[in-house]
Amino acid sequence: MSNTDLKQTLSDFMEAIWNQGDFDQIETFVAPEYTIRHDPGDQWEGQTLDHATFKKRVQYSRNAFPDLKFTILDMVAEGNKVTASWTMSGTQQGELAGAPASGRPLNTTGITIYDFENGKVRGHWQAYDRLTAVAQLGLLENLG
């Protein structure tokens, strides 16, 4: 696939799976084995997920944030990788990491390097501003 095709596939993947929660398209976009190589704080970090477990991962986020929205700000593609900078927004309407729904809005930024195989996403390395996220959700208020 060309760099342009990889970036379009990533954009379509983010919209269908993460933003719309269209789980019927997981097999269209996600390789049979998806490895989370680096994503500190993610309960699936270091694991290789099958399609069913990948779906559970997305459902976990979308249950906490039913209006979850990723907006891609920029993408760079080279070889079989696409790096995307993004914003993530939503309102916490469900439990997240043991914390009850806060009803608070979330708006944070991050960067992810996605790795492709045969035109499908097969894993990522990610870093995002988790400190801002937990602060916005009120999870720092009970510390210290």
Residue 41's pLDDT is 85
Q: 131-135 contacts: CB < 8 A, separation 24 or more?
A: 132/108, 133/106, 133/108
Residue 107's pLDDT is 97
Query: CA-CA distances (angstroms) from residue 29 to 2, 25, 104, 107, 135?
Result: 16, 7, 31, 26, 33
- Coil vs helix vs strand at 118: coil
- 38 - beta bridge partners? 125
CA nearest 42: which of 119, 136, 141, 133?
133
Residue with tokens 């937990």: 134
Residue 144's pLDDT is 53
Residue 18's pLDDT is 97
Rounded CA-CA distance 135/16 in Å is 28
Q: How far apart are the first and last CA of the chain?
A: 51
- Six token digits for residue 23: 């789980």
Domain boundaries, the chain: 3-136
Residue 103's pLDDT is 95
Q: What is the pLDDT along the chain (144 residues), one digit of tens a residue?
A: 899 999 999 999 999 999 999 999 999 999 999 999 999 988 999 999 999 999 999 999 999 999 999 999 999 999 999 999 999 999 999 998 888 999 999 999 999 999 999 999 999 999 999 889 889 998 877 655
Instruction: Record the pTM.
Output: 0.92
> Which CATH entry fits the domain spanning 3-136: 3.40.50.1370, 3.40.50.2300, 3.10.450.50, 1.10.490.10?
3.10.450.50
Q: Are 88 and 106 in contact (CB under 8 A)?
A: yes
Helix %, strand %, coil % of the chain (to 5) = 30, 40, 30
Rounded CA-CA distance 21/19 in Å is 6
